[in-house]
Amino acid sequence: MEVQSMDDIRTNVEIADRTGHSSLSLTKQETLDLIEMNQGSWIYKDNQMVQATDIASANWADVGTIRIMPGLTGGF
């Protein structure tokens, strides 16, 4: 039986933007790269807002769904 390394584990990553949303199956490094490209976005892990550093240190086998959402801006 082949053991899967942490680099091979994929999780569902949903990205929202002005055109709608996309759903991808990404490795930890691919997800971190995507977060880096979308600085200023809000990041959710299992429906809880987290920092990018929380994703970097997470056990990828237990992560669940990651959502990358545009940050909301209030005001007039």
- On whether residue 2 sits in a domain, the answer given is no
- Integer Cα distance of 43 and 15 in angstroms: 10
Provide the domain count of the chain.
1
- On whether residue 5 sits in a domain, the answer given is no
- On whether residue 75 sits in a domain, the answer given is no
- On whether residue 1 sits in a domain, the answer given is no
pLDDT of residue 71: 86
CATH number at residue 53: 3.10.20
Enclosing domain of residue 65: 11-69
pLDDT of residue 18: 83
- Integer Cα distance of 7 and 73 in angstroms: 35
- On whether residue 74 sits in a domain, the answer given is no
- On whether residue 6 sits in a domain, the answer given is no
pLDDT of residue 3: 54
In tens digits, the chain (76 residues) has pLDDT values of 555 566 689 999 999 988 899 999 999 999 999 999 999 999 999 999 999 999 999 998 899 899 999 987 776 6
Listed in sequence order, the residues at least 6 apart from 19 whose beta carbon sits closer than 8 Å to its beta carbon are none
